[in-house]
Structure 1
Amino acid sequence: MSHILDRPIWSALGTRHSALAQGGALARRYLPSVSLFSATGDDRPESLKALRALASPGETLLVVQSTEALVPDGMTAVSRASLVQMLAAEPLPEIADPRVELLGEEDAQAMLELATLTKPGPFTLGAQRFGSFWGIKQGGRLVAMAGERLKQPGYTELSGVCTHPDARGRGLGRLMSLYVAGKICTRGERVSLHSYATNTAAITLYGSIGFKLRSDMHVTALTLTQ
């Protein structure tokens, strides 16, 4: 039996993120201003055709699921990568730290710049529409952040964990991960996250704070065939 997190984008867009969805019963995607994450509910030809219909020329749709994504006719897989999906094994406590502040719309550009520099994963100016983000500033500059991304019933994804190179080695990534995970757990939800399978440092960090592997995952980048 499939798990709600096997196709996390599909299940998020059909439930807690339905207000951010485009598409219908066969394929869905996030509003382009929010994310290029897209999904089908299954691998039937009609579902793949519906996914292709959601793509615009020049876009790169991103599909994340537990099985290798099939490529719709008229589209090309420009990249594939292996991920791991992890879950907090036990509820993590909410913590307080005076350095951490809730980020707002006025921080969107600084958030994008930090994410572009550190590459935690796909990120846009509209990322705060996924959920709340928190950060640490030093001298008015954002140096660390983390927040919420995909949301399904009973689950919220920890994402966007990044630290400016100038501030690394101080445990800020660990702090931000624990801070956001604690916020999620306090709501009675389980915390999920995704990491590239090659990012052993991140996987080791998450394991040290109580995350366990749930499933191997795959991310596929799709574009319309020229």
Structure 2
Amino acid sequence: MSQSFNRIVWSALTSRQQGFARSNSLAVRFDPQISPFAASKNNSQDALQALADLIGPGDDYVYLLQKEAISLPSNLEAEFSALGVLMTEQTASTPKPDGPDIRPLVTSDIPEMVALAELTKPGPFKHRTPELGAFWGIKIDDRLAAMAGTRLNLDGFTEVSGICTHPDFQGRGLATSLSRHVASEIRARGDTPFLHAFADNHGAIALYRKLGFEIWSEVNVAKVRHRP
């Protein structure tokens, strides 16, 4: 597990999600219309330059997410960097039978999903992000009140991601219910659920611990583009 998680984007794009990859021999990135995440195979100068070759000029950018320290070649710069945590499920949390009505989200829901993600900022989310995996939502008065789904997918592990609740519906436990549901769906197909959070988001980390997740490691995240 540790080797796959060290560079988790690389692991996903060279295994189950390679169909979404734009790649060369030493670096990979998701199709930018789907997700901005990318990775180099290692921190060698050849691999870092291969990563730079996958990033277009101008407004193009990628997010790096890895346990190892982030190194960049001279022609790239980090617009943003932070410390995060990768958490894996250690104890299964069973969905409650009297919980809210959770339904699969479909193509017609995507505009509302994007709007909710833009409002609540659960992480990078684009119109084609739902192609990476299933998403579920809770609707109240015909409005998308909360959603969660799956994103990174590698051999034996699937990420719980996109967890967010509209401000009008917070405080009802919707994110908790959705997180339990998504994790149970992942377990049902034989994978172990994992997720990410920023290291300073203590409220989210406390919630995930209540749901049976524990920190595997701190991880580094950066938004990277070419220098002007």
TM surpasses 0.5: yes
Aligned-residue offset at 1:188: 1.2
Match of 1:188 among 186, 190, 213: 190
* Stretches of structure 2 lacking an aligned partner (at least 5 in a row): none
1:80 maps to what in 2? 81
- Between the aligned partners of 2:55 and 2:48, the Cα distance in structure 1 is 11
- Between the aligned partners of 1:162 and 1:91, the Cα distance in structure 2 is 21
* Conservation of the 8 A alpha-carbon contact between 1:94 and 1:186: no
2:64 counterpart of 1:26: no
- Between the aligned partners of 1:94 and 1:10, the Cα distance in structure 2 is 32
DSSP-derived class of the 2:209 partner: helix
DSSP-derived class of the 1:124 partner: coil
- Between the aligned partners of 2:96 and 2:8, the Cα distance in structure 1 is 27
Q: Call closer, same or farther: CA 1:173–1:17 in 2, change over 3 Å.
A: same
* Conservation of the 8 A alpha-carbon contact between 2:100 and 2:177: no
- Between the aligned partners of 2:40 and 2:115, the Cα distance in structure 1 is 31
Deviation digits for residues 127-153 of structure 1, max 9, x if unmatched? 111100000111211010000000010
2:131 counterpart of 1:156: no
Which residues in structure 2 correspond to 1:1-226 (within 5 Å)? 2-57=2-57, 58-93=59-94, 97=99, 99-226=101-228
* Conservation of the 8 A alpha-carbon contact between 1:51 and 1:72: no
- Between the aligned partners of 2:107 and 2:13, the Cα distance in structure 1 is 23
Aligned-residue offset at 1:94: 5.9
DSSP-derived class of the 1:5 partner: helix
- Between the aligned partners of 1:188 and 1:42, the Cα distance in structure 2 is 29
- Between the aligned partners of 1:2 and 1:83, the Cα distance in structure 2 is 16
DSSP-derived class of the 1:203 partner: helix
Deviation digits for residues 46-80 of structure 1, max 9, x if unmatched? 10111001001211210000022111221111111
* Conservation of the 8 A alpha-carbon contact between 1:33 and 1:124: yes
- Between the aligned partners of 2:125 and 2:80, the Cα distance in structure 1 is 17
* Stretches of structure 1 lacking an aligned partner (at least 5 in a row): none
When the two structures are superposed, what TM-score results if normalisation uses the length of structure 1?
A: 0.96
State, as a whole percentage, how many aligned pairs show the same letter.
38
* Conservation of the 8 A alpha-carbon contact between 2:100 and 2:138: no
- Between the aligned partners of 1:168 and 1:63, the Cα distance in structure 2 is 30
Aligned-residue offset at 1:109: 1.0
The one-letter code matched in structure 2 to 1:76 is E
> RMSD over aligned Cα, in angstroms?
1.4
* Conservation of the 8 A alpha-carbon contact between 2:85 and 2:198: yes
DSSP-derived class of the 1:143 partner: strand
DSSP-derived class of the 2:108 partner: helix
